Amino acid sequence: MAKLLPRPTDAELAILRVLWDAGPATVRQVHEAMAGDRDTGYTTTLKLMQIMAEKGLVTRDESSRTHVYAARVSRDRTQRQLVNDLIDRAFGGSAAALVLQALSAQPASEEELGEIRRLIDDYRRTRTR
């Protein structure tokens, strides 16, 4: 199994979302992309991204004067790790408890319920092979 990375903070997740959506970017590009959502100074964004590089959450290309950062792992892998951690910590390892709580907290649309049914059907098919 792949090595687990440290759980990102909320601020680190905001930066990762920018990198997942935009691809590799400089601190300035990330800072500008987040400007509408967060009131964070440039130096704070810089420091967070340096810490994220030390933690292994992002990579840093130092080949040019302006460093370019990229997410080290995919959005899917990060989300899967966060969900697994949440299931273990808050739901005693029960994925069903998580799903039931999620559906009761925020109702799903018919489209979302259809997608959930398809995922369950796919899961059943792959488990019975």
Q: Which tens digit of pLDDT belongs to each residue from 55-102? A: 999 999 999 889 999 999 999 999 999 999 999 999 999 999 998 999
Residue 40's pLDDT is 83
Question: Within this chain, do residues 61 and 17 fall inside the same structural domain, yes or no?
Answer: yes
State the pLDDT confidence band at 2, using cuts at 50, 70 and 90.
low
Same domain, 15 and 49: yes
Where a domain ends, among 56, 71, 86?
71
46 and 92 part of one domain: no
Task: Give domain status of residue 58, yes or no.
Answer: yes
Q: Are residues 15 and 56 in the same domain?
A: yes
pTM value is 0.81
Please check whether residues 82 and 113 belong to one and the same domain. Answer: yes
- List the end-to-end C-alpha distance of the chain, in Å, as a whole number: 22
The C-alpha angle 116, 121, 125, rounded to 5 degrees, equals 145
**pLDDT value at 27 more than 80:** yes
Quick one: which of 25, 32, 100 has its CA closest to 58? Answer: 25
> Rounded to whole angstroms, how far apart are CA atoms 57 and 65?
21
Is 1 part of a structural domain of the chain?
A: no
Task: Indicate whether 14 and 67 sit together in one domain.
Answer: yes
Q: Is the dihedral of CA 72, 50, 47, 5 positive or negative?
A: positive
pLDDT of amino acid 129: 66
Question: How many alpha carbons lie under 13 Å from residue 11 in its C-beta half-sphere?
Answer: 15
- State residue 1's pLDDT score: 46
Q: Average pLDDT in the 4-33 region?
A: 94
Q: Tell me whether residue 84 is in a domain.
A: yes
Please tell me whether residues 33 and 48 are part of one structural domain.
yes
